Structure formats: structure tokens, C-alpha cells
């Protein structure tokens, strides 16, 4: 049994034909049932530009969505208040496609536990967890 969690950033790009922020993984952690770290890695979405050590103000000017919501350039939300990621932190991290391939190998055939895990499994694209092998902690305690 493995517990898995992804941290995500939001990216919108007018070239994708819509103006919705989509989630992309930037960090994954996997622990076993004894809470030993099995895997922990940050990653950079394959198409995310290297931003360098821009100031937060300059980064927002370049990548924040316009107030009128017309999107004429890519928009990036690092979700720093959740992820702790700042401009430039992901520049030299391995690409997400490489990290996701490693994660798929590690979790193949294992029972998985996570919080709102369906969201995390979506980023693994074309990964089929074992039948009855997923436990979602968000479903256990309803307030």
C-alpha cells in the first residue's frame, strides 16, 4: 500500500482554445504504510518556460490573467500560498513527463491511498489503478 499526493499549479493558454486554468503537477510525494518516503520529486511541466528569478511583481505582470479575463498570452498561477513555489524554483527540475513515468512504475499494482485521489490520478493519464485498489480519505470522514 502506498500513499500519494501531488501539488499542482494552474496554467491557461489561449492556444489550447479555451481560457480555463488547468492543473499541472509540480511535486509528488509517495510514502509507504510505515510512513517511509518511497519517492519525492519536484518537476516542471514540459511546456512551462524557465522564468529565472523574477520578482513576484514582475512574474505577476508577465503571467497573471488579465482583469478583463481576455487571454492573449499564457497565464500561470504558481499557487505559492499552497505550494511554496516561487518564480525560478522549477527551472532546473526534471520534466513532468519523466517524473510521471517513474511514478507510474512505482505505483503499478499497488493499493493507493490519497486525499481526493481522483484528482491526483488524473495527472497520471492512462494509468489504471488495481480494481478496488484505491482509498480516498476525503470519503471517510464527512462533517
CATH code of the domain containing 26: 3.30.420.10
Burial of 2 from C-beta contacts in 10 A (0-12 / 13-18 / 19+): middle
Across 29-43, 70-84, 91-105, least confident range = 70-84
More confident residue, 58 or 40: 40
85: cell is: 513555489
Q: Give dist(CA 142, CA 12) in Å, integer.
A: 32
Answer yes or no: is pLDDT of 39 > 90. Answer: yes
pLDDT category of residue 71 using cuts at 50, 70 and 90:
low
Instruction: Say what the pLDDT of residue 33 is.
Output: 93
User: Mean pLDDT, the chain, as a whole number?
Assistant: 84
| Number of structural domains found in the chain | 1
More confident residue, 13 or 71: 13
**Domain range enclosing 105:** 2-139
Instruction: Say what the pLDDT of residue 139 is.
Output: 82
Answer yes or no: is pLDDT of 106 > 90. Answer: yes
In this predicted model, what pLDDT tens digit does every residue of 51-68 receive, in sequence order? Answer: 777 777 877 777 776 655
Q: Give dist(CA 111, CA 124) in Å, integer.
A: 15
Amino acid at each position: 500500500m502506498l500513499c500519494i499526493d501531488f501539488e499542482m499549479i494552474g496554467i491557461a493558454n489561449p492556444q489550447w482554445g479555451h481560457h480555463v486554468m488547468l492543473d499541472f503537477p509540480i511535486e509528488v510525494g509517495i510514502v509507504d504504510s510505515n510512513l517511509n518516503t518511497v519517492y519525492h520529486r519536484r518537476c516542471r511541466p514540459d511546456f512551462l518556460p524557465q522564468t529565472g528569478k523574477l520578482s513576484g511583481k514582475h512574474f505577476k505582470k508577465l503571467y497573471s490573467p488579465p482583469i478583463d479575463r481576455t487571454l492573449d498570452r499564457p497565464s500561470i498561477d504558481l499557487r505559492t500560498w499552497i505550494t511554496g513555489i516561487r518564480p525560478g524554483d522549477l527551472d532546473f527540475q526534471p520534466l513532468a513527463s519523466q517524473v510521471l513515468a517513474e511514478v507510474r512504475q512505482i505505483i503499478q499494482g499497488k493499493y493507493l491511498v490519497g486525499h481526493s485521489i481522483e484528482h491526483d490520478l488524473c495527472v497520471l493519464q492512462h494509468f489504471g489503478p488495481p480494481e478496488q485498489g484505491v482509498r480516498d480519505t476525503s470519503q471517510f470522514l464527512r462533517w
